[in-house]
Amino acid sequence: MPDEVPIIEMRDIVKNFGAVQALCGVDLILQRNEVLGLVGDNAAGKSTLMKILSGAYIADAGHIYLEGQKAHFSNPLEARRLGIEMVYQDFALANNLDVASNVFLGREIVRLNLGLLKVMNKPIAL
């Protein structure tokens, strides 16, 4: 329905890395229950756009809206708190873990939390 508020809306996103313009006014709209695939050549900006959405990069210009509300992430933890995370390509995957464990890596259930040191609820099979 055209009147529905998009779950994610990125408007006029710009990102530069020095003299290299990675993104120039990119718009992305994702409706509820919609699946979207980003396809393009290498260095087209797909990963850069997703890293902005997930808080790993900060856009130089543009706006992000979540369910119609303006959002800004300065780091991945802020995006995670709003339900946005990114699973990186194979270089960031743990080969000894299954798919679900890789998706939730870093969000395991812990029985003891000592700040940066956490003790997991169960041992990991290596």
Cα–Cα distance measured from residue 3 to residue 82, given in angstroms and rounded to the nearest whole number? 23
> Where does the chain hold its CATH 3.40.50.300 domain(s)?
1-86
pLDDT at 89: 66
Give the mean model confidence (pLDDT) for residues 72-92: 83
Contact 83, 67 (CB under 8 A): no
For residue 44, give the DSSP letter.
S
Residue type, 59: A
Q: Where does the pLDDT of residue 124 fall: very low under 50, low under 70, confident under 90, or very high at 90 and above? A: low
Q: Which residue has the higher pLDDT, 28 or 38?
A: 28
With residue 79 as reference, give the H or E element that holds it.
helix 76-81
pLDDT above 90 (res 112): no
Is 1-86 a CATH 3.40.50.300 domain?
A: yes
The predicted pLDDT at position 106 comes to: 72
Coil, strand or helix at 92: helix
Backbone angles phi, psi at 90, to 5 degrees: -50, -25
Stretch 80-90: mean pLDDT: 80
